């Protein structure tokens, strides 16, 4: 059986290790966030008043847009459109 015809996950093993470790760290952060919110609701609500909502919205917009552009650049690279790929990654 060749590497291309064997069943299983696509891609390299280390890519899946990276993905799983990222999920574990993100999950641990969410659990910690939830634990603090449940154990100290008054302190959590007071801390929220110090957040800059406009800055958070701008940061979210930048992160979502950059991920979208990276996905478009990946498609362009797969199609052999390297000029478009470079433009999307600038």
- What pLDDT sits at residue 2? 54
- What pLDDT sits at residue 8? 78
**Which H or E element spans position 80?**
none
Q: At residue 30, what are phi and psi to the nearest 5 degrees?
A: -65, -40
The alpha carbons of the chain give a radius of gyration, in whole angstroms, of 20
- What pLDDT sits at residue 11? 81
- What pLDDT sits at residue 65? 97
Query: Beta-carbon neighbour count of residue 77 at 10 Å?
Result: 15
The 10s digit of each residue's pLDDT in 3-15 is: 556 677 788 889 9
The 10s digit of each residue's pLDDT in 77-88 is: 999 999 999 999
Nearest in space to 87 (alpha carbons), one of 76, 63, 64 = 76
The 10s digit of each residue's pLDDT in 36-84 is: 999 999 999 999 899 999 999 999 999 999 999 999 999 999 999 999 9
């Amino acid at each position: 059986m060749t590497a291309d015809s064997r069943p299983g996950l696509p891609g390299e093993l280390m890519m899946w290790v990276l993905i799983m470790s990222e999920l574990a760290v993100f999950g641990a952060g969410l659990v910690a966030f939830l634990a603090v919110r449940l154990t100290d609701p008054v302190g959590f609500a007071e801390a929220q008043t110090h957040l800059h909502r406009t800055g958070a919205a701008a940061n979210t917009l930048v992160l979502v847009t950059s991920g979208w552009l990276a996905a478009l650049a990946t498609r362009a690279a797969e199609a052999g459109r390297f000029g478009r790929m470079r433009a999307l990654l600038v």
